[in-house]
Amino acid sequence: MNRVRKVLGPLVVLLGANLWLSKGANSKNTVRYYVNSPVCKMPYVNPFTWDTMSDFHRKKMRECRNDSDLVTSQFDFNTHQYRLHIHEHLARPLLKTKGHATLECEYSNISRNPSAKYPDDYYIQSKMHRITNHEVVPNNTDYIITKCYVRSSNHTRKIVQSDSMSFIQDPLTNKKVRDFERKQRTDPHPSVLIMGLDSTSRINLRRAMPLVYEYVKRPGWFEMQGYNKIGDNTFPNLMAVLTGHSEAGVEDLCDVREKGCLDSLPFIWKRFKEANYTTAFAEDCKSISTFNYLKPGFVKKPTDYYLRPLLLASEEQFPVSKDWGYAYCVGRHLSFRYVWDFGQQLVDRFLGRSPFFGFLWSNSFTHDYYEGATALDKLFRRYLKSFQDIGLFKRSIVILMSDHGHRYNTLRRAASGYFEERMPMMFIYVPPWFRRKYPQFVANLKKNRNRLTSNYDVHMTLHHLLQLPSKSMADFPAKYRAKQCPGCQSLFFEVPFNRTCAMAGIEEKWCCCQPSETITSPLVEPIVYAIVERMNHHLVERKFDTLCHNYTLKQIVKVDRKSILATGLKPVDKDEYVYIVQFKTRPNLPEFEATVRWNNRTNSLLGMDVDDISRLNSYNKDANCMNDKTAKKYCICKDSIRESKDSQENSG
């Protein structure tokens, strides 16, 4: 009996708490919203509902190694150079087993190959160089691969450890540092560090990373609870933040699949560089990195410090193990650690000595599995604490963000899945000196926590940090405005209370402002059949029908109808509505979601764009014949057809 109580006790408490939270969040008397205005009602979402917690499990982090570093680097603050140290004493137990054996360590330089056809995908490696203890690393060395060997008495060598290292070199002269320190006393400008975790909604952050969430509730942090994504996946959402362009807007300028296109775009780090900031960019998981997945990447190194060459070399030369879908351990280190150790070096070298702009992005834990974030919680909180210890939060603006929430499978199918996908986390930290110097900006930031905001506003905020005396958006030159959202603005200015998604550059498909109700009317069948017909026609239009199988409707999963608020944009036709339709098709049972306008009187589908359709389950096994990143989510390759029990029973 005692054993039964031990098992059932916590479950009863969880069920009771979940029931109370659900009722509390949905009771008519206690309705809560992230945004609550006449034109936008973005509902509060309880992270702990039964359909998200019933199969939720906290994961443990697996370590990548059980040995100690034989070679380490240390920055010498007197000479402003790195030194390499060999820790031979750690190898002594092994050396004793080999007789009169000795430890030998070598390194080779890793650098970007600017003469390659696609420089982002290649690196140059120098010949091996013998390491002497306390050796100074040359100032022109950014990355190295190390190898340590045991040389036995008969002169044979056996490798015992391989590793890699990055070096954020310090090119600053004493005069530059003194000039910066003098200017900071009279007209301080903040350094800026953007920290990103892929596919992390503000909802799942609370559920999966409670330690991190507690950290960002401290003074100085402001959560943009009305932050709504503007595009489907990582690329469009980060392009809006970093360039002010939508994906379609970029296509008007150049083809991102063509070499040189990305280099020509107005990335915000270019403006920071013009303002004498040191710039850095690091992202893990080379195969799916934002600007390289099905794209040629950058021709020129995009920032002063760029981690990709080291990741290319490390993933190619070291064993790579996968957890959560992508590279987890790369050699002796977590893929994640390469990025954040690089970020710590950046802060160590330049904080208080020169302004810097850093963009750190990680896919490895969170891209495919929402539970992966649970294993990252303690480690990421330790990194935040480490950044705190070296003084980052005393001087700098820090943005903790994501591109979108989870886009398919368990979380996406939950009742709150619509919001999980569309509401990424967005936290902005402002240091004490900024709060004192610009109290009105901070007051506006506080007001904007519960106003509708978008990626374009974050882009304008980054521009604002380079022209802090600006008192209104009229001070911003046209070339710095977000091109696809001319009305978007810095978050240090008050966002209009009555803001609509259209005003924030958010298309209706992604907009979380309109309440919806689930309907089961017979009217829904013609809508879904019309969507499937439109999808088949689209395959022919784009000449994908030779590769991709036609769709036939298998099941209508759910249909929601949006309420149209008093936005001034209400359709003239009273029979026109917006529907959110979830459905499955044959073959392979892909599950889709489409947001469409439908006229109930004329039975007509209005302006549906198939490229905007959402895929609610994974398409990894369905779309290997397709290299178009947008079409991958809806193409069912003819050579990937799987005969399932369900399809056999329902064929014919």
* Residue 602, pLDDT above cutoff 60: yes
Confidence grade of residue 92 (pLDDT, cut at 50, 70, 90) = confident
pLDDT above 90 coverage of the chain, percent: 76
What's the pLDDT score for residue 600? Answer: 84
What's the pLDDT score for residue 60? Answer: 92
Spatial strand order in the sheet of 320-323: 320-323, 326-330, 333-334
Four-point Cα dihedral 63, 64, 70, 71, nearest 10: -110
Confidence grade of residue 9 (pLDDT, cut at 50, 70, 90) = very low
Q: 191-510 and 516-649: same fold?
A: no
Cβ-proximal residues to 183 (8 Å cutoff; 6+ apart), any chain: 189
Instruction: Render pLDDT for 124-152 as a digit per residue (tens, 0 to 9).
Output: 999 999 999 999 999 999 999 999 999 88
What's the pLDDT score for residue 402? Answer: 98
For the segment 387-409, the average pLDDT, to the nearest whole number, is 95
For the segment 73-97, the average pLDDT, to the nearest whole number, is 89
Q: Which residues pair with 108 in a beta bridge?
A: 145
Return the DSSP state at 63.
P
What's the pLDDT score for residue 153? Answer: 75
For the segment 296-300, the average pLDDT, to the nearest whole number, is 97
What's the pLDDT score for residue 566? Answer: 55
Question: Which amino acid, one-letter code, is at 7?
Answer: V
Instruction: Render pLDDT for 213-269 as a digit per residue (tens, 0 to 9).
Output: 999 999 999 999 999 999 999 999 999 999 999 999 999 999 999 999 999 999 999
Question: CA 213, CA 227: separation in Å to the nearest integer?
Answer: 17
Question: CA 331, CA 335: separation in Å to the nearest integer?
Answer: 9
Identify the CA nearest to 479 among candidates 247, 197, 270.
Answer: 270
For the segment 28-51, the average pLDDT, to the nearest whole number, is 88
* Residue 569, pLDDT above cutoff 70: no
Going from the C-alpha of 553 to that of each of 51, 525, 531, 613, the distances in angstroms are 26, 10, 10, 15
The CATH architecture to which 191-510 belongs is: 3-Layer(aba) Sandwich (3.40)
* Residue 415, pLDDT above cutoff 90: no
Cβ-proximal residues to 578 (8 Å cutoff; 6+ apart), any chain: 508, 514, 561, 562, 564, 595, 596, 597, 598
Question: CA 426, CA 406: separation in Å to the nearest integer?
Answer: 15
What's the pLDDT score for residue 277? Answer: 97
| Domain ranges within the chain, ordered by starting residue | 2-53, 71-166, 191-510, 516-649
Cβ-proximal residues to 7 (8 Å cutoff; 6+ apart), any chain: none
3-state secondary structure 328-339: EEECCEEHHHHH
Residue 223, both tokens: 């959560």
Determine the 3-state secondary structure of 235 from DSSP: helix
Confidence grade of residue 12 (pLDDT, cut at 50, 70, 90) = very low
What's the pLDDT score for residue 18? Answer: 44
What's the pLDDT score for residue 570? Answer: 55
Average of per-residue pLDDT values in the chain: 90
Instruction: Render pLDDT for 56-68 as a digit per residue (tens, 0 to 9).
Output: 999 999 999 999 9
Q: Write the DSSP string, 368-402.
A: S-TTHHHHHHHHHHHHHHHHHHTTHHHH-EEEEE-
Instruction: Render pLDDT for 418-455 as a digit per residue (tens, 0 to 9).
Output: 999 999 999 999 999 999 999 999 999 999 999 999 99
Q: Are 111 and 130 in contact (CB under 8 A)?
A: no
Cβ-proximal residues to 261 (8 Å cutoff; 6+ apart), any chain: 250, 253, 254, 255
β-pairing, 123-125 with 135-136? unpaired
Question: Which amino acid, one-letter code, is at 421?
Answer: E
Q: Are 492 and 445 in contact (CB under 8 A)?
A: yes
Alpha-carbon radius of gyration of the chain: 27
Instruction: Render pLDDT for 608-652 as a digit per residue (tens, 0 to 9).
Output: 889 989 999 888 889 999 988 889 999 999 999 986 544 433 433
* Residue 361, pLDDT above cutoff 90: yes
Identify the CA nearest to 400 among candidates 189, 205, 188, 203.
Answer: 205
What's the pLDDT score for residue 192? Answer: 98
Q: Write the DSSP string, 527-552.
A: HHHHHHHHHHHHHHHTT-TTTBPPPE
Confidence grade of residue 567 (pLDDT, cut at 50, 70, 90) = low
Question: Which amino acid, one-letter code, is at 121?
Answer: D
**Residue 642 CA from chain centroid, whole number:** 32
Determine the 3-state secondary structure of 520 from DSSP: coil
What's the pLDDT score for residue 650? Answer: 40
Q: Are 424 and 202 in contact (CB under 8 A)?
A: yes
Question: CA 368, CA 409: separation in Å to the nearest integer?
Answer: 9
Instruction: Render pLDDT for 505-539 as a digit per residue (tens, 0 to 9).
Output: 999 899 999 888 898 888 899 999 999 999 999 99
573 vs 35 pLDDT, higher one: 35
Confidence grade of residue 410 (pLDDT, cut at 50, 70, 90) = confident
What's the pLDDT score for residue 191? Answer: 97
For the segment 44-55, the average pLDDT, to the nearest whole number, is 92
What's the pLDDT score for residue 126? Answer: 97
Residue 434, both tokens: 């900024």
The CATH architecture to which 516-649 belongs is: Roll (3.10)
Confidence grade of residue 459 (pLDDT, cut at 50, 70, 90) = very high
**pTM of the predicted structure, to 2 decimals:** 0.90
For the segment 5-22, the average pLDDT, to the nearest whole number, is 40
